Amino acid sequence: MTTEETIPVTIRILEKEYKISCPQGEHESLLISAKKVNDNMEKVRESGKALSADRVAVMAAINIAHDLVKISEKPNVDESFVNRIDEMQNSIDAILN
C-alpha cells in the first residue's frame, strides 16, 4: 500500500486561517473549494439571519450541498465527477470541524 504525499496548505475562511494537508496535485482545486466556502459563508453572514460562526458554517454547508445535489441529479453526469465532488465536500466538512 502506497501513501499519497501531501503538502501543507493554508486557507482563509472568514478571516481565520486553517492549515490542512492536501494531496499533491490538488492544491488549486482545494483553493477554489476554500474560496467557494468562504464566499458562501460571507453571503450567509451578511444576510443577518445567522449570527454564530457555527450557524453560518451549517447554512453555508447546506447551500453547497444543495448545489451538489442539483448537479448530481442532472442526467449524464459523469460518475467520477460526482465522486470527486463528494470527496471535496468531505474535505470541506473536515476543515469546518
Average pLDDT over residues 12-38: 91
| Residue 4 identity (one-letter amino acid) | E
pLDDT of res. 1: 41
pLDDT of res. 3: 59
Burial 56-84 (b: 16+ CB within 10 A, else e): bbebbbebbeeeeeeeeeeeeeeeeeeee
Greater pLDDT, 72 or 61: 61
The residue with cell 447554512 is 59
For residue 40, is pLDDT > 50?
yes
- Label residue 9 by pLDDT band (50, 70, 90): very high
pTM, two decimals, is: 0.66
What whole-number distance in Å separates Cα of residue 57 and Cα of residue 14? 10
- Label residue 2 by pLDDT band (50, 70, 90): very low
